[in-house]
Amino acid sequence: MQNAMTISFNALGENEAFSRVAVASFAAKLNPTVDDLAELKTAVSEAVTNAIIHGYDSNPAGIVYISASIEDGEIDVVIRDEGRGIRNIEEAKEPLFTTKPEMERAGMGFTIMEHFTDKLEIESSTSSGTIVRFKKRLAGKRVNCV
Amino acid sequence: MVTMKAEAQGKVLIIRLTGELDHYYSEQVKEFTEQQIDQHQTQHLIWNLSGLPFMDSSGLGVILGRYRQVNEMGGSVTVCGLNTQVKRLFQLSGLFKIMYVTQTEQEALDRLEESSCRTQ
């Protein structure tokens, strides 16, 4: 059976921890490994940070939307903003690429999301904002030690 | 929340972080560490991350920024006490190519001691 949840919150840095913990708590019923849960939290944190500092340019009036659903041991997470959008997605995905070097951004957000999830999709437009969607299998990966 | 502690031993500065290091806390860590480096005229920086269960790329940005700061003075950066998730972030970003990594703070100090003996 499918199970789904949605949350939305202001684009404030202090909400980053809340958002990744909320998604991780929702995913916990799949009994994931500690490493998988850490990877999920990291991917959420990267996408939410991008929405706040790039999408909304750190304007707290912006709203970040997260929806997540679980089906057949897999979590599907959609993180959306209505901010300025990404001009060139392929360029943004390049490791070490950043538009904000003055903020000491590492330019690793999308690289980390790609490595820490099973499937990553990015849709963006400069008129309507950015949607990051990723899937990650969490159940049935535990190795039973005999 | 992140707590930060600094300990200077001559030209070596140890920064111990506990908590979750994300974008929200990265500015505080940056300011604190920058100020400690200036105050102690640090050459070699050791990050003890054994109390850090979570970090994202914002943390990588701060650590890379401080690498640039001490590297300009001919210094080095060592990271120790990384958990699996944090270690993967370092691997993905290639930071292990420019920084030293040890299991413990003592090993980091011993390595610096040995390398300074070799150059004397």
What was the pLDDT predicted at A96?
81
A67 close contact with B: CB closer than 8 A: no
Domain count, chain A: 1
Q: Which domain holds residue A133?
A: 3-137
CA atoms within 13 A on the CB side of B47: 29
Q: If we measure between CA atoms, which residue out of A12, A14, A8 comes closest to residue A56?
A: A12
What was the pLDDT predicted at B17?
98
DSSP track, B73-110: TT--EEEE---HHHHHHHHHHTGGGTSEEESSHHHHHH
User: Is residue A142 a part of any domain in this protein?
Assistant: no
Res. A141 pLDDT band, cuts 50 70 90: low
A1: pLDDT strictly greater than 80? no
B26 close contact with A: CB closer than 8 A: yes
Task: Say if CB A65 and CB B111 are below 8 A apart.
Answer: no
What was the pLDDT predicted at B48?
98
Res. A102 pLDDT band, cuts 50 70 90: confident
User: Is residue A96 a part of any domain in this protein?
Assistant: yes
Question: pLDDT tens digits for A50-90?
Answer: 999 999 999 999 999 999 999 999 999 999 999 999 999 98
Q: State the smallest CA–CA distance between residue A39 and chain B in angstroms.
A: 7
User: Tokens in use for B65?
Assistant: 């920024």
**CB-CB under 8 Å, A13 with B22:** yes
B56 close contact with A: CB closer than 8 A: yes
A39 close contact with B: CB closer than 8 A: yes
Tell me whether residue A53 is exposed, middle or buried, using C-beta atoms within 10 angstroms of its C-beta: 0 to 12, 13 to 18, 19 or more: buried
Its ipTM equals 0.89
User: Is residue A31 a part of any domain in this protein?
Assistant: yes
- Sketch out chain B's domains with CATH numbers: 2-110 (3.30.750.24)
Contacts B24 to A, Cβ<8 Å: 13-14, 16-17
Contacts A53 to B, Cβ<8 Å: 23
Q: Give the C-alpha separation, A25 to A21, whole Å.
A: 6
Rounded mean pLDDT of chain A? 92
A29: pLDDT strictly greater than 60? yes
Least confidently predicted of A17-21, A75-79, A105-109, B115-119: B115-119
**Sites in chain B below the pLDDT cut of 50:** none
Question: pLDDT tens digits for A87-100?
Answer: 999 888 888 888 88
Provide the residue type at B71 as one letter.
N
Contacts B23 to A, Cβ<8 Å: 13, 16, 45, 49, 52-53
> Global pTM?
0.92
Contacts A104 to B, Cβ<8 Å: 26, 30, 61-62, 64-65
**CB-CB under 8 Å, A106 with B57:** yes
What was the pLDDT predicted at A54?
95
CATH number for position A133? 3.30.565.10
User: Is residue A88 a part of any domain in this protein?
Assistant: yes
Q: Positive or negative, the Cα torsion across A29, A31, A32, A34? A: positive
